[in-house]
Amino acid sequence: MPKYILLLTGMFITLQSPVFATEVVDTTLQGYQSQGAGEFSVDAGKTLWNNEIIHSKSPVTRSCASCHGNDFNTTGKHIKTGKTIKPMSPTANPKRFTDQEKIEKWFRRNCKWTWGRECTAQEKGDMLLFLSKQ
């Protein structure tokens, strides 16, 4: 295999590593703090993750764990659509938390679906910190 292909392959793997995810998480958390969020807490994130809500459009309780589960190294399954959800853990899914736009997209969708509203910067920061430590 030519050396330049090995070099490019190594660069790609590096960009998808948990180190890169950590940089994106840190930048995202700083953005939430610039929006007025305070210090973030892993414990608060865990509480939010497991918080069960009775959604206005469904009598069934919902939580983040309802679809994603509590084993962050395994796939989840959307409780309404049945769609498979890749593991939340950055070690099990190296692409997790490597794209700030995707982080925002999924918080927007999942907060609205689960809680019936958008999450605050504080809630997103607490959950992102919690999930990034899994």
Q: Domain limits of the chain?
A: 18-132
- Nearby residues of 94 by Cβ (< 8 Å), 6 or more positions away: 16, 17, 18, 21
Question: What is the chain's mean pLDDT, rounded?
Answer: 86
Confidence of residue 38 (pLDDT cuts 50, 70, 90): very high
pLDDT in tens, 109-122: 999 989 889 999 99
CATH class of the domain whose range is 18-132 = mainly alpha
Q: 3-class DSSP state for residue 11?
A: helix
pLDDT for 70 equals 93
pLDDT in tens, 2-19: 444 433 344 444 444 455
pLDDT at 130 over 80: yes
Predicted TM-score (pTM) of the model is 0.83
> How many degrees, rounded to 5, is the angle at CA 62 between CA 41 and CA 27?
35
pLDDT at 56 over 90: no
Average pLDDT over residues 121-127: 98
